[in-house]
Amino acid sequence: MATVEWVCKRLGAPSDLSERMSELAERANGRVNPSWYEKYIRKLGYTRGFDTLLELEPIAETIRVFSPIFIPGILQIPEYQLALFDVAPGLTKSNADKQVALQAKRQNGIVDRGIRIVVVITEGALRLQVGGPEVHREQLSQLVALHTADLVEIRVWSSTAGAHPGGRGEIELLTFPKEEGEPPFAYSEGYQGAECTEESDAIADHEERWSIIRDKSVPINKFAPIKELAA
């Protein structure tokens, strides 16, 4: 604790950042209660860095997500989540229920704070029938309904748009209000892990890729096949 406080002082860190670093140091020493999400993610097989993402999402001003394979977690209905967990090797029903509870708290935390959300989903992810036709229709109907709500924009990368620059997994970009003093944050997920970064060069690369993805995608209510898929 003393070392952390000394380093923050020597570097001239703002008081809010110093307090956050001190809190993290206390948590590392087991002196404070764990965050709400820690009891859920322990032993549930989440990729490294996901806990950092959960910590930062509630204080974000804007959340931008590109999801090439599945509907992203912040938009999944419980039935869709359970269908994904059903095919996860070695995942018990108890752990699956905990993951659904975690996603519900995560979603509520974002919605309750009025955070701006922009999500781009590939056409392939929209067409994938996770949980069967009924769950599929319910999930798509939920997406269309959310797009009409304030602060939520859902877009589609059509298969006719060709290859995308989004990599092989979900990408999430966070930006924060000035008063939070947080730099932009990027989370990119792959099969065996995730990368988290605040480095300016990496953020610039993510921003460039995001600009291409967003510009070549269309709003979900203007994506012609959606009416057929959600019917």
pLDDT for position 47:
60
Identify residue 69 by its one-letter amino acid code. Answer: I
Question: Does one domain contain both 5 and 85?
Answer: no
Compute the C-alpha angle 190/194/197, nearest 5°: 130
Distance of CA 190 to the CA centre of its chain: 13
Please list the ranges in the chain whose pLDDT falls under 70: 1-2, 27-48, 91, 191-193
Question: Does one domain contain both 17 and 60?
Answer: no
SS3 165: coil
Question: Does one domain contain both 176 and 199?
Answer: yes
Structural domain containing residue 145: 35-230
Alpha-carbon distance of 104 to 66, in angstroms, equals 20
pLDDT for position 97:
83
| Beta carbons within 10 angstroms of residue 172's beta carbon | 25
Question: Does one domain contain both 2 and 78?
Answer: no
Question: Does one domain contain both 115 and 56?
Answer: yes
Question: Does one domain contain both 1 and 101?
Answer: no
Q: Which stretches of 145-189 are assigned E, i.e. beta strand?
A: 152-157, 171-175, 185-189
Question: Does one domain contain both 148 and 183?
Answer: yes
Question: Does one domain contain both 14 and 124?
Answer: no
- Total number of domains in the chain: 2
Question: Does one domain contain both 80 and 47?
Answer: yes
Sort 188 into a burial class: Cβ within 10 Å, 0-12 / 13-18 / 19+: buried
Q: Does residue 122 contact residue 156 with C-beta atoms inside 8 Å?
A: yes
pLDDT for position 33:
52
Q: Does residue 142 contact residue 77 with C-beta atoms inside 8 Å?
A: yes
Name the pTM for this structure. 0.80
pLDDT for position 28:
66
Question: Does one domain contain both 64 and 51?
Answer: yes
pLDDT for position 36:
57
